[in-house]
Amino acid sequence: MAKLTVNEELCKGCGLCVGACPKHILALSKSKLNKKGHSPVELQKPEDCIGCAFCATMCPDCVITVEK
Amino acid sequence: MQEKVLMKGNEAIAEAAILAGCRHYFGYPITPQTEVAAYMAKKMPKIGGVFLQAESEIAAINMVYGVASTGKRAMTSSSSPGIALKCEGISYLAGADLPALIVNVQRGGPGLGGIQPSQSDYFLATRGPGHGDFHVIVLAPASVQEMADMTQLGFGLADKYRTPVMLLADGTMGQMMEPVVLPEPQEIAVEKPWAACGTKMEREHNIVNSLYLSPSELERTNLERFERYAQIERDEVRWEEYCMEDAEICIVSCGITARISRNAIVEARKRGIKVGMLRPITLWPFPKAALAAAAEKVKSFISVELNMGQMKEDVELAIRCKRPVHLCSRVGGMIPSPEEILAKIEEVAKEGGC
Amino acid sequence: MIVFQKPKALTDAVLHYCPGCTHGIVHRLVAEAIDELGIQGRTVGVAPVGCSVMAYNYFACDMIEAAHGRAPAVATGVKRAMPENIVFTYQGDGDLASIGMCETVHAAARGENITIIFINNAIYGMTGGQMAPTTLPGQVTQTSPYGRDVATQGHPIRVCELLSQLDGPAYLERVTVNNVKNVRNAKKAILKAFKNQVEGKGFSLVEVVSSCPTNWGMTPQKALEWIDEKMLPYYPLGVYRDKEA
């Protein structure tokens, strides 16, 4: 099973990872804001993550670490 | 001890730079300093050094910036219009506290001007050649021997104070041939822990930079730099006095005009006029204290220069306008004869200068 | 097993770029190339003036900040002083193709053994969105408010094509980073551009067609689509020089 870790404080909420996810299981948080005022990305269904790292590939801020 | 050889001023600069351990020269052709580049082009490949004819003066000074960033000695040379182009790079060198030697074999201006000797870049050199608040050390040689000696001195001062140094010669100095004893080979004496030469994974990364977006930090770097300038003004002022013991008129002159003035002084003294000379060797820092001391003894000054009186302003500032400062100058590549200077001395003497 | 993490050749400094700016992706690809070749300890980077001016804070190797457009000249000095070191510049379109075009062309003509990463996002980002040498015909910017009129404001410059007319360069490729596949291709190109230098092959330049969501006035995702729709037809991807091939 894949594990995805988001460094929420560094996330700028740009959503490039959201658009890249083939399983459509990433979304920007509707409830959280980080210290910079951005809505960080959240993994909606961790059990569906296949660890393809497409999200991390498109992330401009190296916010996402992917383990498999 | 090196033996005495006959050399052109420009070639003496090039050979002295090599003896100072400079292995990186970047230049662009411009009269009357092209012999420096030609000498380097011949010699550098034979000693494992780098001669590169850059695409522009701007590129050349930035190549110097690159080499200086790695901690190695680098130089460029040009003449007045080319130096104006290099000013951007000189400001960045100053802002990043990088040592480098810039040779300016001056010609007449403004604009394309002419190719004959001039000292009309005095302001450009001594007021900080480029944008921002900074100085470069300015050395003014008056012989081929000094062209060589000051090249070495320049590299040493640049390293010691982490500042660009300008060797401010004029076309005559560059072109004249004289016997010269070349300096002994020089080792780089200072450590350069700031150099961007690769971390070897043994230290944090070094950053060579002149950008400080925080005003307080930028202020701090400026103040720190001016503390170094204060030290330079205290320890590195150089000048030479000639016949000043009993002088009532003091000529102030550097470079080629100082040499011509000497002849005029000899002649004037034969005619009973007590005239001497104070020759600034460093134009920045300017020998203010020596001039102020002279002002206590002499009745007037004559600034002899190849411009419309740029150095005269520094003399007036140095002596706080305590005595009259006369100007004897030719411009546009014209050079005053000893007779012209003598006539000025006699005129000033008649007015009560002595 | 970690399949994706931040490369070691990037520092921990937080990137100052706008949300969704692809500079961050390219920084990472450069750092990955440095990591993979194991050259961080002998790499010296040269930062430009523009949005990536503070790249010197982000790369963990030694860094030099150059005057606007002068990075290839500075890199030339560094490389000539230390031929064993790996020297790269990271420059935007204004820096490389406008004020620094002379330095770019001549470094390429000399075949300097350096690596240039060229970010083409068709706009001056740092100063707030003015017309760049690569701004598309008709594109609205702060200084082409009625759209770039090629009759009075000239045509965009295709850097890879222009440099491909020279004998000097060893490798020229245009890539983009607007989707996962393209990022992977960009990675290959950047890695090759560094590897070329390690192997002494000479001047390598990778042009990365990038986005500037803030100054293009688009969402980050829409900006990536705009690359496909508008940028790539004018700036075709591909290899423009490969002395190996």
To the nearest whole angstrom, how far is the Cα of C213 from the nearest Cα of chain A? 10
- Opening angle at CA C80, ends B86 and B43, nearest 5: 85
> Quick one: B215 exposed, middle or buried, by C-beta within 10 A (0-12, 13-18, 19+)?
exposed
What CATH number is given to the structural domain containing B300?
3.40.50.920
**Domain co-membership, B219 together with B311:** no
pLDDT digits (tens, 9 = 90+) for A22-34: 999 999 999 999 9
Q: Which helix (H) or strand (E) holds B289?
A: helix B288-295
- Residue C92 included in any domain: yes
Q: Write down the pLDDT at residue B189.
A: 79
Q: Write down the pLDDT at residue A1.
A: 77
**Domain co-membership, B225 together with B248:** no
Name the residue facing B65 among C77, C79, C82 (closest C-beta). Answer: C77
Is the model's pLDDT at C36 over the cut of 90?
yes
Q: Write down the pLDDT at residue B187.
A: 81
What CATH number is given to the structural domain containing A57?
3.30.70.20
Cβ contact C23–A60 (<8 Å): yes
What tokens were used for C192? 């090759």
**Domain co-membership, B196 together with B324:** no
ipTM: 0.96
Count of domains forming chain A: 1
Is the model's pLDDT at C245 over the cut of 80?
no
What tokens were used for B354? 């002595």
* Listed residues B208, B235, B262: the one ending a domain: B235
- Residue C95 included in any domain: yes
Name the residue facing B197 among C62, C65, C103 (closest C-beta). Answer: C62
Is the model's pLDDT at C136 over the cut of 70?
yes
- Give the domain extent around B298: 240-353
pLDDT digits (tens, 9 = 90+) for B132-145: 999 999 999 999 99
Helix B255-270 and helix B338-348, axial crossing angle in degrees, nearest 10: 60
DSSP three-state, residue C174: strand
What lies within 8 Å, CB to CB, of A37 at 6+ separation is none
What CATH number is given to the structural domain containing B220?
3.40.50.970
Residue B71 CA, chain-centre distance (Å), reads 22
pTM assigned to the model: 0.97
C and A adjacent (3 or more CB pairs under 8 angstroms)? yes
Can you point out the beta strands (E) in chain C? 2-4, 43-47, 62-65, 86-92, 115-120, 171-176, 204-209, 238-242
Interval C106-119 mean pLDDT: 98
Give yes or no for C197 touching B (CB within 8 A): no
Interval C128-135 mean pLDDT: 97
Q: Which residues in A have their CB inside 8 Å of a CB on C?
A: 2, 10, 12-16, 18-20, 38, 51, 53-54, 56-62, 64-68
Count of domains forming chain C: 1
- Opening angle at CA C104, ends C169 and C138, nearest 5: 110
**Domain co-membership, B209 together with B86:** yes
What is the percentage of chain C residues whose pLDDT exceeds 90? 98
Q: What is the pLDDT along chain B (354 residues), one digit of tens a residue?
A: 788 999 999 999 999 999 999 999 999 999 999 999 999 999 999 999 999 999 999 999 999 999 999 999 999 999 999 999 999 999 999 999 999 999 999 999 999 999 999 999 999 999 999 999 999 999 999 999 999 999 999 999 999 999 999 999 998 999 999 999 999 998 877 999 999 999 999 999 999 999 999 999 999 999 999 999 999 999 999 999 999 999 999 999 999 999 999 999 999 999 999 999 999 999 999 999 999 999 999 999 999 999 999 999 999 999 999 999 999 999 999 999 999 999 999 999 998 755
DSSP three-state, residue B197: coil
Name the residue facing C67 among B24, B60, B89 (closest C-beta). Answer: B89
Name the residue facing C183 among A57, A67, A68 (closest C-beta). Answer: A57
User: Which 299-318 residues of chain B touch chain C by CB within 8 A?
Assistant: none
Name the residue facing C14 among A10, A19, A51 (closest C-beta). Answer: A10
**Domain co-membership, B162 together with B272:** no
Interval C154-168 mean pLDDT: 98
pLDDT digits (tens, 9 = 90+) for B158-169: 999 999 999 999
Helix B57-69 and helix B80-95, axial crossing angle in degrees, nearest 10: 30
Interval C144-155 mean pLDDT: 98
Closest CA in chain C for residue B211: C65
**Domain co-membership, B123 together with B199:** yes
**DSSP string across C182-227:** HHHHHHHHHHHHHHHHHTT---EEEEEE---HHHHTS-HHHHHHHI
Closest CA in chain C for residue A19: C221
Can you point out the beta strands (E) in A1-68? 3-6, 26-28, 41-43, 64-67
**Domain co-membership, B81 together with B146:** yes
What tokens were used for A23? 């399983």
**Domain co-membership, B279 together with B251:** yes
Cβ contact A15–C3 (<8 Å): no
pLDDT digits (tens, 9 = 90+) for C177-215: 999 999 999 999 999 999 999 999 999 999 999 999 999
What CATH number is given to the structural domain containing C90?
3.40.50.970
To the nearest whole angstrom, how far is the Cα of C41 from the nearest Cα of chain B? 4
**Domain co-membership, B46 together with B160:** yes
Q: Cβ(C124)–Cβ(C118) under 8 Å?
A: no
The one-letter amino acid at C59 = F
- Give the domain extent around A29: 3-67
> What are chain A's partners, defined as 3 or more CB pairs within 8 angstroms?
C
